[in-house]
């Protein structure tokens, strides 16, 4: 029997396609509901086909794994691993973390399970999973890997820009009036995701201003472990190329990755989300 398994959810995006301990990582998927139709594990949902605005008929929902589903996964993985380290996206964005806690409690300690609220998502969540996997691969216990992850959590910052306020409304994050007015005025609200809170920062008029804001935000940091850019759909090819050059000039020794917007993020924020994830180096 193997020692430690790391479980995350399908909102995670990994900065590196291959990494140490990758074989120890498992991903529990979200379901998606559109227009009253359930799409198990989000299959057949194409981000590029999502409308810019989500009306009441579309009513997009990102459905987290239920308590029962988590319990099934925990029991199955417990037959192969001695310990489970579960790292899930920010609890403000999903009920997955609470469902996992309840599932672990229902098993009454029959399996060693440690559950972490990452307080982030996408590449931020993927970075934490990679950190844990590499630590376990190098001999760390689940407790040691959990401590390492929790130490990194406060040092991950996300800046998210989306005109899709109607998607945030259906996710329960903004009210309907705010969503309607924002989309009517073609605002591009910019949010930060820090300490498990999605907080509005700015309202800009175009993506060019957003990119300038990303650069200004990045300038506040010195010692970085990783920078990740989350692409809107369709991608802003020229703008992204320029941003990549600026980032690499500012932080030539910091790893950098670009990610296509995945289904989980698109259902929450809309298909035109543009995001920046910054990971501070705490070594």
What confidence score (pLDDT) does residue 261 get? 96
What confidence score (pLDDT) does residue 2 get? 65
Asked if 104 and 138 touch (Cβ cutoff 8 Å), the reply is no
Of 113, 135, 154, the position where a domain reaches its end is 154
What confidence score (pLDDT) does residue 203 get? 86
What confidence score (pLDDT) does residue 85 get? 98
pTM beyond 0.85:
yes
Domain annotation covers residue 49: no
- How far, in Å, CA of 83 to CA of 74, rounded? 10
Domain annotation covers residue 57: no
What confidence score (pLDDT) does residue 95 get? 96
| Domain, as residue range, for 21 | 2-30+63-154
Q: Let me know whether 229 and 188 are in one domain.
A: yes
What confidence score (pLDDT) does residue 204 get? 85
Rounded to 5 degrees, what angle do the CA atoms 131, 137, 143 make? 65
> In this structure, what are the phi and psi dihedrals at residue 18, rounded to the nearest 5 degrees?
-135, 140
E strand or H helix that includes residue 143: helix 142-152
- How far, in Å, CA of 231 to CA of 85, rounded? 29
Of 96, 122, 154, the position where a domain reaches its end is 154
Domain annotation covers residue 26: yes
Both tokens of 3, joined, read 């020692």
What distance separates the 2 farthest-apart alpha carbons in the chain?
A: 58
Residue 211: give its domain's CATH number. 3.30.1180.10
Bridge partner residues of 114 (DSSP):
85
**If DSSP codes are grouped into helix, strand and coil, which group holds residue 137?**
helix
- How far, in Å, CA of 68 to CA of 20, rounded? 31
- How far, in Å, CA of 15 to CA of 229, rounded? 10
Of 128, 154, 180, the position where a domain reaches its end is 154
With a cut of 50, which residues of the chain have pLDDT below it?
A: none
* Number of domains into which the chain is organized: 2
- Nearest to residue 94, comparing CAs of 231, 267, 222? 267
- How far, in Å, CA of 260 to CA of 232, rounded? 7
Domain annotation covers residue 55: no
- Nearest to residue 187, comparing CAs of 172, 214, 207, 173? 207
What confidence score (pLDDT) does residue 41 get? 96
């Amino acid at each position: 029997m193997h020692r430690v398994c790391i479980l995350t959810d399908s909102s995670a995006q990994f900065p590196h396609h291959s990494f140490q301990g990758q074989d120890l990582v498992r991903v529990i998927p979200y379901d998606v509901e559109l227009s009253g139709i359930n799409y198990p594990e989000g299959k057949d949902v194409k981000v590029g086909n999502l409308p810019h605005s989500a009306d009441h008929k579309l009513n997009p929902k990102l459905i987290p794994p239920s308590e029962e589903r988590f319990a099934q996964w925990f029991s199955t993985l417990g037959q192969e691993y001695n310990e489970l380290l579960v790292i899930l996206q920010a609890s403000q964005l999903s009920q997955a973390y609470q469902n996992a806690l309840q599932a672990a409690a229902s098993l009454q300690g029959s399996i060693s399970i440690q559950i972490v609220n990452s307080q982030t998502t996408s590449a931020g969540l993927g970075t934490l999973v990679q950190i844990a996997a590499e630590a376990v691969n190098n001999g760390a216990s689940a407790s040691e890997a959990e401590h390492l992850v929790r130490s990194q959590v406060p040092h991950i910052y996300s800046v998210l820009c989306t005109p899709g306020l109607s998607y945030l409304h259906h996710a329960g994050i903004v009210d309907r009036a705010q969503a309607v007015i924002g989309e009517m005025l073609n605002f591009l609200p910019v949010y930060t995701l820090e300490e498990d809170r999605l907080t509005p920062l700015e309202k800009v008029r175009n993506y060019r201003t957003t990119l300038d804001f990303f650069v200004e935000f990045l300038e506040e940091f010195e010692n970085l472990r990783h920078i990740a850019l989350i692409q809107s759909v369709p991608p802003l090819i020229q703008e992204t190329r320029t941003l990549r050059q600026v980032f690499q000039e500012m932080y030539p020794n910091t790893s950098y990755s670009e990610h296509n917007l995945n289904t989980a993020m698109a259902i929450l924020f809309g298909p035109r989300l543009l995001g920046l994830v910054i990971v501070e180096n705490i070594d």
